[in-house]
Structure 1
Amino acid sequence: MTPGTEDLRREIVAACRILADTGLTVGTSGNVSVRAGGVMLITPSATPYAELTAEMICEMPLDGPEGVWVGPRKPSTEWRFHRDILRARPEIGAVVHAHPPHCTALAMARREIPPCHYMIAAFGGASVRCAGYARYGTAELSALVLQALEGRTACLMANHGMIALGETLSRAMWRAAELEALARHYCIALSIGGPVLLSDAQIGEAAQAFATYAPGGA
């Protein structure tokens, strides 16, 4: 265990419990990672969140041999896109992946979320894109995710789930919860004829307002 990572490990465990308790994910699905200097801390594979402890969190180098890890259990099968996101986005400190119901329903339909609410601005643009499909854990999926996340802090994943990014873990968790709320509202709006979409100017105005608003502990 890298010295000085104890608090981050405990934060990851707490975040995983929140994901389970709030219904953002079920069973052992989903995973969380945090940047810790030159290493990535990430949840282990196939471990129920109720049983997760700080000591079980895996370490992986952000730059180094492919797939190397340290810990009592192997890392999440999704470690590749976590690592690749943290490599490509130095401003990002944490990645949350989960399978919340409404985000996943839209992902199964391969629908992006359009500018149906001003909260879309919290994710970096006028839409939350849906990444193309590839099997979980693959380099192909990682490439598709990186593409969908260009200029964004969240995306859906076709026939899979969602990803939310944050400068801190608390910020990533805030975005994950807000994304599921937005997806739920969008699904409801679709059931009554569809939403009226906001203009680029209106989304831009909301984005400017968000620049001075820092929920999630950022």
Structure 2
Amino acid sequence: MSDDDLSLRTSIIEACLEMTASGLTTGTSGNLSVRSGRDMLITPSATPYLSMTPDMIARMPLAGDGAWTGPRPPSTEWRFHLDILNARSEIGAVVHAHPTHATALAVARMEIPACHYMVAAFGGSTVRCAGYARYGSADLSALVLDALRDRTACLLANHGAIALGDTLDKAMWRMTELETLARQFVVARQAGEPVILSDAEIAETLAAFADYGLKS
């Protein structure tokens, strides 16, 4: 294992532990992947994060269809990770989790509208909610790719959420921001009727964000 490979694998484990510590996910739910040359490194299936070691991270060829190497099989959600990285060359990492408020909106099959200008951090005026299909299925992957058109995050109906980034740090930041936005929207609906920003106002924010490197 090269030093670069070890560093990537270690960063994946650190991100997993961060997700648990911050409450973005619990138990063994959630999974992460990182682009590594022509391959993808992805968390193993059903492995507690506290006991995960770098060698347990599975390696999958991006040009493959489920082939993997490692002592443990990849996450059961490997398909949408693989498809996202193949479809989006600008993306270097994919984070999937089940944060409480984002998942609650996904259970209600609601998208997140422009209730706050930070929705622009995900590429547009909404965070879409992908339709429902069984976890790990090709049908779910197709729905995810559609919901992620021109976006860097989406909800998954009755399931959870996905956030993307050119780096793992950026994808993790987006997952945290996504859950914050979801919580704000849920609380605002309890307080009254949220006022939604216009497309023009979000376009203005998107233009301002260009200087902050938030495109991928």
Q: Distance in 2 between matches of 1:196 and 1:97?
A: 29
Structure 2 counterpart SS, 1:195: coil
Q: Distance in 1 between matches of 2:137 and 2:3?
A: 31
Q: Partner of 2:46 in structure 1?
A: 46
- Ranges in structure 2 where 5+ consecutive residues have no aligned partner: none
Instruction: Give the RMSD, CA atoms, in angstroms.
Output: 1.2
Deviating more after overlay: 3-12 vs 189-198: 3-12
TM-score w.r.t. structure 2 length? 0.97
Q: How many Å apart are 1:214 and its aligned residue?
A: 3.9
1:37 aligned partner, one-letter code: G
Q: Partner of 2:8 in structure 1?
A: 8
Are 2:59 and 1:59 equivalent residues in the alignment?
Answer: yes
Q: Distance in 2 between matches of 1:135 and 1:57?
A: 24
Structure 2 counterpart SS, 1:111: coil
Q: How many Å apart are 1:137 and its aligned residue?
A: 0.3
Q: Partner of 1:149 in structure 2?
A: 148
Structure 2 counterpart SS, 1:20: helix
2:19 aligned partner, one-letter code: L
Q: How many Å apart are 1:4 and its aligned residue?
A: 3.2
Q: Distance in 2 between matches of 1:98 and 1:194?
A: 28
TM-score w.r.t. structure 1 length? 0.96
Count of residue correspondences? 215
Q: Distance in 2 between matches of 1:146 and 1:28?
A: 24
Q: Partner of 2:132 in structure 1?
A: 133
Are 2:23 and 1:23 equivalent residues in the alignment?
Answer: yes
Which 4+ runs in 1 deviate beyond 6 A?
A: none
- Ranges in structure 1 where 5+ consecutive residues have no aligned partner: none
Deviating more after overlay: 11-20 vs 192-201: 192-201
Q: Distance in 2 between matches of 1:129 and 1:43?
A: 25
Q: Distance in 1 between matches of 2:153 and 2:50?
A: 26
Q: Distance in 1 between matches of 2:207 and 2:2?
A: 39
2:60 aligned partner, one-letter code: M
Q: How many Å apart are 1:194 and its aligned residue?
A: 2.3
Q: Partner of 1:167 in structure 2?
A: 166
1:145 aligned partner, one-letter code: V
- Percent identical pairs in the alignment equals 65
Q: Distance in 2 between matches of 1:4 and 1:114?
A: 40
